[in-house]
């Protein structure tokens, strides 16, 4: 009886010690800036409309630093004349670095922190795909397909608009 009581007290003590450590230490502090990466691809649609883009965002004390790359795919299968007739060119790809102020960054932080993601999933054959990776200090802590694409699409539109405006780059005809 004394032995079982001692074991029970030891288990309770260990449990209390673990709970105390969790409360005292709290959640792990971030080891670097919050960042996210958004990758999108249109899926199986014909050129010149097939494209993919990547948006990399790092948050800092001034706002959000962005790297944006948009690439139109499979245009090598079309002549320059065909592209021009459709309102496109061979120079529609975009490579851009820019910054957004703290007001915009705060909205994006909220999406990065609270935007629900599923586990990684393969898109259906031919379907478009969107993958988001959110990390803190380089250590990935969430990655997957957005449960709701709208906030991520809003970010992509905002980035694309800013890049095109700064680069004086017209949007290709749909």
φ, ψ of residue 7 to 5 degrees: the values are: -65, -45
**Domain edges within the chain:** 34-167
Asked whether 53 and 42 are in contact (CB, 8 A), the reply is no
- Structure confidence at residue 68 (pLDDT): 98
For residue range 83-134, what is the model confidence (pLDDT) as tens digits? 999 988 888 999 999 999 999 999 999 999 998 898 666 777 888 999 999 9
Asked whether 120 and 133 are in contact (CB, 8 A), the reply is no
Spatial neighbors of 137 by CB under 8 A, at least 6 apart, are 30, 31, 32, 33
β-strands 139-144, 129-136 pairing: antiparallel
Query: Which of 160, 150, 146, 131 lies closest to 71 in space, CA to CA?
Result: 160
Could you give the 3-state DSSP secondary structure of residue 103? helix
Residues in the chain: 174
In three state form, how does the secondary structure of 26-86 look?
CCCCCCCCEEEEEEEECCCCCCCCCEEEEEEEEEECCEEEEEEEEEECCHHHCCHHHHHHC
pLDDT bin (cut points 50, 70, 90) of residue 33 is confident
Q: Taking the model in full, what pTM does it have? A: 0.76
For residue range 131-167, what is the model confidence (pLDDT) as tens digits? 999 998 766 578 899 999 999 999 999 999 999 999 9
């Amino acid at each position: 009886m004394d032995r079982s009581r001692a074991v029970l007290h030891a288990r309770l003590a260990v449990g209390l010690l673990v709970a105390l450590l969790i409360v005292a230490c709290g959640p792990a502090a971030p080891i670097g800036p919050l960042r996210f990466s958004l990758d999108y691809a249109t899926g199986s649609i014909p050129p010149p409309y097939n494209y993919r883009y990547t948006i990399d965002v790092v948050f800092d004390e001034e706002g959000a630093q962005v790297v944006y790359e948009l690439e139109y795919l499979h245009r090598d299968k079309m002549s320059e004349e065909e592209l021009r007739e459709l309102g496109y060119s061979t120079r529609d790809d975009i490579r851009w670095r820019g910054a957004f102020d703290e007001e915009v960054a705060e909205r994006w932080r909220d999406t990065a922190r609270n935007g629900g993601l599923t586990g990684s999933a393969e898109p259906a054959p031919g379907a478009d795909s969107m993958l988001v990776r959110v990390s803190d200090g380089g250590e990935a802590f969430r990655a997957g397909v957005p449960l709701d694409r709208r906030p991520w699409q809003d970010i992509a539109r905002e980035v694309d608009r800013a890049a095109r405006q700064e680069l004086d780059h017209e949007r290709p005809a749909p």
